Amino acid sequence: MLWIQFVLMAAVIFYAGRQLARYGDILAEKTGLGRTWIGLVLVASTTSLPELFTGLSSAIQSLPDIAVGDVLGSCMFNLVILSMMDAGSKAPLIAQAQPGHALSVAFGVLLVGLVGVGLIVDPHLPVSAWVGAITPLLILIYFASVRVLFLFERRRLVITPEVKAEMRYADISTRTAAYRYSAAAVIVVLAATLLPGLASQIAERTGLGQALVGNFFVGVTTSLPEIAVSLAAVRLGAIDLGIGNVLGSNLFNILILALDDIAYTGAPLLGAASAANLIPVLCVILMYGLFLAGLTYRASKKRLKLAWDTSSILAVYVSAIVLIYFLRGAGS
């Protein structure tokens, strides 16, 4: 029965995520903003709502490994979505992306690296009330990254303006699109608030441990909206919107981790989390490195269903989950 409830919540999130993709695309058309920017900020922050409310619920319920594992597991799985997108693309996916995505990756590496530092040193650093010393830095760098990325994208569009797509949603008003977009977001939030308790029960009954359940089961489930949006973007031919959604979601996820720390009263969240969470931190950095290599090399074709870069990203993810499984309970 517990697994049925978990799967049901996953199905609800996935369905609502598809609606977010559709009406987010409509809003992009109605407002005239570029798909890359819409994917990087608006859609990314909205599809990260499950991580936001799941993380806050976990922190309030004193489940540090679920909260941290949800964010880091989602960051890992979001990058695996690139492999799913690549499987549906005839040419290598990352080679089709605009080079400016490297800036998002750079901020992503910086933020995730700071999380790794927090996992190691937060128990030994002075705190303001109960908030870890790393948390203010995460918040500051996130908003700085949004500002820098906005300025970069605006400048890029002036130099190389995007081709205006044919109006495909003339029969839907901006007000209707905004209303349905908001309704889908509410559904995602309500479903996500039920995940922490279910995940905790699964961890207890199966003996898998909170770190594994948070990084895998919850991390994958809360990434379902990103899957729906990104795969839809491939079908629409909007590669940069899909990739921007993935990379932007990872940036927003780290902001979520900072908010989780504020909600987790009593001690710094990263200091209370298992050392096993260092594994996804290192693996996300490795996956970012593979993305940058693919973006720079820009392969002209792929021999298999997946290009070398996205297949390597997938391999890193599988290795991380295996390591977390075998090290579950370590460092708790």
pLDDT at 324: 76
What's the rounded mean pLDDT across residues 48-68? 80
Distance CA(87)–CA(307), nearest Å, equals 8
What's the confidence (pLDDT) of residue 210? Answer: 55
pLDDT for res 163: 47
Q: How confident is the model at residue 128 (pLDDT cuts 50, 70, 90)?
A: low
Q: Where are the domains of the chain?
A: 2-326
Highest-confidence range of 117-131, 243-257, 258-272, by mean pLDDT? 243-257
Q: What average pLDDT does range 214-229 have in this prediction?
A: 68
Query: In this model, does residue 293 exceed pLDDT 80?
Result: yes
Instruction: Answer whether residue 162 shows pLDDT above 90.
Output: no
Alpha-carbon gap, residue 161 to 154, rounded angstroms: 10
Q: What percent of the chain has pLDDT over 70?
A: 78
Going by C-alpha positions, the residue among 283, 290, 293, 310 that lies closest to residue 74 is: 283
Please, what is the Cα angle at 247 between 29 and 36, to 5 degrees? 25
* CATH architecture, range 2-326: Up-down Bundle (1.20)
pLDDT confidence tier of residue 146, bands split at 50, 70 and 90? confident
The reported pLDDT for the residue numbered 46 is: 75
What does each C-alpha distance from 232 to 185, 228, 229, 289 come to in angstroms?
17, 6, 5, 25
Q: Is the pLDDT of residue 173 over 70?
A: yes
> CA 90 to CA 38: how far, in whole Å?
24
Give the pLDDT score at 164. 47
Average pLDDT of span 291-301: 92
**pLDDT (0 to 100) of residue 235:** 78
* pLDDT confidence of residue 103: 93
What is the reported pTM?
Answer: 0.81
- Residue 232 has what pLDDT? 75
Under 8 Å between Cβ of 286 and 316: yes
Q: Quick one: pLDDT at residue 207? A: 64
pLDDT average, residue stretch 155-167:
57
- Taken in order 105, 195, 318, 73, the sign of the CA dihedral is positive
pLDDT in tens, 182-214: 888 788 777 766 765 666 676 667 666 655 665
* Residue 331 confidence (pLDDT): 46
Kindly tell me if the per-residue pLDDT of 171 is higher than 70: yes
Helices 224-236 and 64-87: crossing angle, nearest 10°?
20
pLDDT for the residue numbered 56: 82
* pLDDT bucket at 81, cuts 50 / 70 / 90: very high
pLDDT value of position 45: 77
Q: Which of 55-69, 122-136, 147-161 has the highest mean pLDDT?
A: 55-69
96, HSE (Cβ side, Cα atoms, 13 Å): 21
pLDDT score, position 157: 61
> Nearest CA to 195 among 225, 172, 217, 166?
217
CA atoms of 257 and 108, how far apart (whole Å): 13
80-103 mean pLDDT:
90
- In this prediction, residues 228-242 reach a mean pLDDT of 78
The residues that bridge with 128 in the sheet, in sequence order, are: 131
Q: What is the CA radius of gyration of the chain?
A: 19
- 3-state secondary structure at position 222: coil
What was the pLDDT predicted at 44? Answer: 78
Provide the β-strand partners of residue 79.
Answer: none
Residues 6+ apart with CB under 8 A from 151: none
Give CA–CA dist 79/62, Å, rounded: 28
SS3 60: helix
What pLDDT is stored for residue 154 in this prediction? 73
- What's the mean pLDDT when you consider all of the chain? 80
pLDDT range class, residue 139, cuts 50, 70, 90: very high
